[in-house]
Amino acid sequence: MNLKIALLQLLPGDSLEEQFQIGKAACEKAKAMDADIALFPEMWSDGYLIPQDETAIKDLSITSDDNFIQKFGKLAAKLQLAIGITFLEKHNPKPLNSIILFDRNGKAVLHYSKVHTCAFDLEKMLSSGENFFVADLDIGRGTVKIGSMICFDREFPESARILMLKGAEVILVPNACPMEINRLSALRTRAYENMLAIATCNYPDGQPDCNGHSTVFDGIAWLRNEPESRDMCIMEAPSEEGIYVADIDLDLLREYRANEVMAYKYRHPETYQILVSEWKYEIRKLRKDEIDLLKDFLYEAIFIPDGVKSPARDIVEKPELRVYTDDFTARKGDNCLVADIDGNVVGAVWTRIMNDYGHVDNDTPSFAISLYKEYRGHGIGTKLMINMLELLKKQGYKQVSLAVQKTNYAVKMYKKIGFKTVNENSEEYIMVCKL
């Protein structure tokens, strides 16, 4: 069984309707070229336009059930063609960079949002996706397992590796950046090390900071009974606008995956502790001789937006911040739990009833949490918070509160464990978790 993927290396229009009309014509041409899948470049809904104003970007974003998206679903069914449509997705607190893959019957089988956003640049205006997904795509002659990455995701080996471990045979990669030798090499490597095909669709010359060169690497590095390795790049488009089709031999890829040695076959995940964050840590109460550590963690808890210089460490001596640490353990509601790795405290969560930024009333403890940077994003903070919520509930408290800046990535974590916004100002959410 073969899989034909059409890479729609197109220049965008000036409106959502024009984007649809350009895209519709391209999909019709892809179908005439016997393609099974038509893939758009990154954020096709607005031509990868990312306003740096919150109101403007929210106005530009659309929901997944917007008429623009649903028209592509209907087109997929009409053409009997799978379509990977990309868009700026409406989301709170910030939009997402997303793709929906409709199968040939118009059913949305995959909905993925970019995990590794370019937060150092324009995409600081976006939220990050939370996971990688693999879907079974029926192409009429059989089924293929499809996953997706988006642009900068390719620079992180974990992206393709997770998709491979979830069973992906083909990864679709919408893109919007110059495809030069190093980025192309990254895609080649992701295909090689995971024994899967990677199809990347870029914007052509004429789109700012893009140069075409959409590619398909089929993941087959060599063939049995042939002495030399082979070039996995089965298609590289020129820089010009166009529709470029690659034909992936899935039977050959599956045979190769069954017989060769890369991907999952000889992994030793037990040695990858630093990657998978399976540190052996203990959640315990703060000891009296460790109270001074709270000032360190208070400093680490200060949210520093991108491009803003970090304050001096003595900022924690300001009266409005000292309320979090002065005479700790001596006041009502004082509790502190720490994460301990091999005798080293790497994170802390603490509460007290105080008139801080997140103050709700005199019966509700305020919440503070912080980890050293290298230990963030690995689940330790979530575990600390859950343990603290359980402790407060046992102590008879009915709720706990906190204040968090709207642009802080931690908002997502707080919502996941049950915090809800009860008030807000121009910069912060005041959130409460019922116990």
Q: Supply the DSSP string of 53-111, one letter for each residue.
A: SHHHHHHH-B-TTSHHHHHHHHHHHHHT-EEEEEEEE--SSS-EEEEEEE-TTS-EEEE
Beta strand 134-138 pairing with 108-113: unpaired
Domain annotation covers residue 272: no
Residue 273, pLDDT score: 61
Residue 279, pLDDT score: 66
Same domain, 172 and 282: no
Task: From 267, 301, 335, give the residue that closes a domain.
Answer: 267
- Note the pLDDT tens digit of each residue in 151-162: 999 999 999 999
CATH number at residue 329: 3.40.630.30
CATH number at residue 153: 3.60.110.10
- Note the pLDDT tens digit of each residue in 26-76: 999 999 999 999 999 999 999 999 999 999 999 999 999 999 999 999 999
Same domain, 34 and 125: yes
Q: Is 358 helix (H, G, I), strand (E, B) or coil?
A: coil
Number of domain units in the chain: 2
pTM for the full model?
Answer: 0.68
Parent domain of 77: 2-267
Six token digits for residue 228:
């030399």
Residue 416, pLDDT score: 83
Six token digits for residue 202:
């870029």
With a cut of 70, list the residues of the chain below it in pLDDT: 270, 273-279, 306
Domain annotation covers residue 22: yes
Same domain, 255 and 343: no
Task: From 267, 290, 312, give the residue that closes a domain.
Answer: 267
Same domain, 344 and 284: yes
Same domain, 58 and 171: yes
Same domain, 373 and 253: no
The helix/strand count (H/E) of the chain reads as 11, 19
